[in-house]
Structure 1
Amino acid sequence: MTESESPRVTRPTMVVLGVQDGTPPYRLVEVAGELVGKAHSVLDVIEIARQLGLDDIDLDDPDVVRWVGGDKFTWTPWWPRHPPKPEPRA
């Protein structure tokens, strides 16, 4: 197999991990395998990138940003919150 026939495997510059349950929910952001911040919206992802010198980052390019557990529009957990169980009556 020649190099041109082999699949292209690249590591994206930024990885936005799945939504974490919190008030408000958030997503952790990694760059080069290191945790660099917490984002509550896509605007936070853009701000983190800007602070790291990635001013013209393309959030839709999978070679640049990998979205785990949803896309750039996913900012709430997909699983429902469980309400507290009522205490048994005596």
Structure 2
Amino acid sequence: MANLAKIVYRPVGLVGGVVAGIVAGAIFKRVWKIVDREHDAPDALQAEYSWPKMLLAATLQGAIFAAVKAAIDRGGAKGFERATGEWPGS
């Protein structure tokens, strides 16, 4: 049953990943506006930004995405377990 649960859960996990990316992106934009009121978040290929500023932006973006993705993954797994009685990750 565990293998079947993993297969059935896969589309739920994929949708959750997309949603996590959208939500995390929106949160990051709001956080970055607090960090640097003057500019959008720097991209690694924009030469006008310093290394520290670019690395800070990348670190914040990665941390926010990881936290949001973990929360959405766990919520999706719990919902799947409630609906089917099977945990999708074991």
Task: Give the structure-2-normalised TM-score.
Answer: 0.29
Structure (1/2) with the larger helix percentage: 2
Structure with the largest fraction of strand? 1
